[in-house]
Amino acid sequence: MTERRSRPAHRNASRHPAVEAPDPRMLALKTLQELRGGEVTLDELLSKHGYGLPSLDRNYLRHLLGTTLRHMGEIDAVLAPRYQPPQDRVAARLTNIMRLGVAQLFFMDTSDYGAVDSTVNLTRDAGLHKYVKLVNAVLRSLQRDGFEWPEGVEDWQLNIPAWLRGSWKKAYGAEIAQGIAEASLGHAMLDLSIKDRSESEDWAEQVDGLVLPTGSVRLESGRRIRDLPGYKDGKWWVQDAAAAIPATLFSAYKDKTIYDLCAAPGGKTMQLAALGSSPIAVDKSEGRLKRVYENLERVELGAAVVTGDATDLAPDTPPADAVLLDAPCSATGTIRRHPDILLRQNDKLMRSLLPIQTKLLNQADKLLNVGGELIYCTCSLQPEEGEHQIKSFLADHPKYERKPITAEELGGWDEAINADGELRVLPVHMQEYGGMDGFFCARLVKKG
C-alpha cells in the first residue's frame, strides 16, 4: 500500500474526522506536469503544493522532485529500452510517474519493494488504471536487471541538456565545462549575509559555520533556518555567497542613494541598507516586493520600496549616486539550488531575455548621476547574459568605463576575476568550501 501520513484526529472523532494529508508522490507528479511549460518555478510550485503538509512530507516532496530533476537524463536513458510512451494524452503524465519510480528505485533511500509498490499505487490514484500492469512490469524488470547504461556516456552528459553542455564548452573549454556540469548537479551549501559584517566570525561560531573570504558565512545545507541563532533577532539573512558580492562593492557609498533594480526578494537591498546607504528597491512584482518588506522589517533596516517595471520608469524619476542591476536571466548558475532549470530553460528562452537586459542597462544609465557607479550582475553562466552585454553597452555608451573589481575587495580572493576586471564566478570555484553558484558581475563608472 502507498505510505500515507494523516493529521491527528480531533478528540471528537464523530464530529471531526481525521483529515488525510495529500500523498507527496501525487503532489510531485502534479509539480512535474506543471513545470513543463517553463513559466513557473519549482520553488513557486513547492510553495503551492507543499502548503499545509507535515514537515516530513514537505521535505520528502522536495527531495523526491530534486532527485528526479537532477537525474532525469539518466532516468530517461534507463527507461528507454523498456518503456515507450503511449500515443495518447496521458503520455506525459505516465512518463513522469515512471520517472518518479526510477528516482526512488535507484537514487533514493527507498526499498525496492516500496519504490515499485508506491509507484504502482500512484498510477492507480492518477486514474491510469489500464497502465498499472505496464508500470509494475517495467519497474520490476529494472529492479531485477539494474541499469542498462549507454556505452561511453557519463552521468553528467545525460543530465545536463546538450545546449548547456555545448555553450559551456565553447565559453570555458571542455575540461572546465565538465567540471561546471558535475558541480551543477551537486547540492548547494547554505550561505548567510551578516547584518553587521564585523560580527561575521562570531555568528559563524554560533551557527557552526565558517566565514568565506568574501565575507559570507557558510554552513551545511539542511538546517532549519528559523531555528538558527540570530534569525528571530534579524542578525542575518540567507543569501548565496556569489550573489552577496555585488552590494559589498558599494562600501564607499555610505549615506548615498542607490537604486536596486529588480530587487526582490531583497537580499541586496538589505546589504546596501546595512552598509549605511539609502537604497531604493524597485521591482514590478507586488507579491515579490511583499517579501522585501517582510525581510526589511525582520532585520530592522530601512529602504524605499517602489513597485514598477524597471525597464519603463517615469521620465521624471530622480537620478541617484549608484545603480545596482541584478538583471533577470536564465539563472543557469543556480542549477544546484534550482534543478528545475534543467527542465524549464533552453537556448531560445535564454536569448529572449537578452533584449530585456539591454533595456534595463539603458534605463540604469538614465538613473545614474555623472561620476556614479553602475554594477550589472546576473546569476547566469552564459556569456551572452554577462560579458557580451557589458561589451555591447560600453560600445554604445562611450561615457562609461570599467572600474575593475579587485582581490582586496573580495578578501584576497582573485580566482574569479577575469582579465577585464569583471567577476566570473563558476561552480568549480571555492571547491574547498563546497563550491559556488555561477555568477557574473561588472562595475562601470559614468564619466563626465
Would you say the C-alpha torsion 41, 45, 46, 47 has a positive or negative sign?
positive
Beta strands 257-261 and 278-283 are: parallel
Q: By three-state DSSP, how is residue 301 classified?
A: coil
* DSSP character at residue 7: P
Backbone angles phi, psi at 364, to 5 degrees: -60, -40
Residues 353, 329: contact at Cβ < 8 Å? yes
Q: Within its chain, how far is the Cα of 6 from the centroid?
A: 31
Record the cell numbers describing residue 382, joined without a space: 552564459
Q: Catalytic residue at 262? A: no
Nearest-angstrom CA–CA distance, 70 and 66: 6
Backbone angles phi, psi at 370, to 5 degrees: -60, 135
Backbone angles phi, psi at 26, to 5 degrees: -65, -40
> Which member of 262, 329, 377, 379 is catalytic?
379
229-263 CB burial, b ≥16 within 10 A, e <16? ebbeebbbbebbbbbbbbbbbbeebeebbbbbbbb
Q: By three-state DSSP, how is residue 190 classified?
A: strand
Q: Which amino acid is at 224?
A: R
Q: Which residue has the cell 558580492?
A: 245
Question: Which residues are identified as catalytic?
Answer: 379
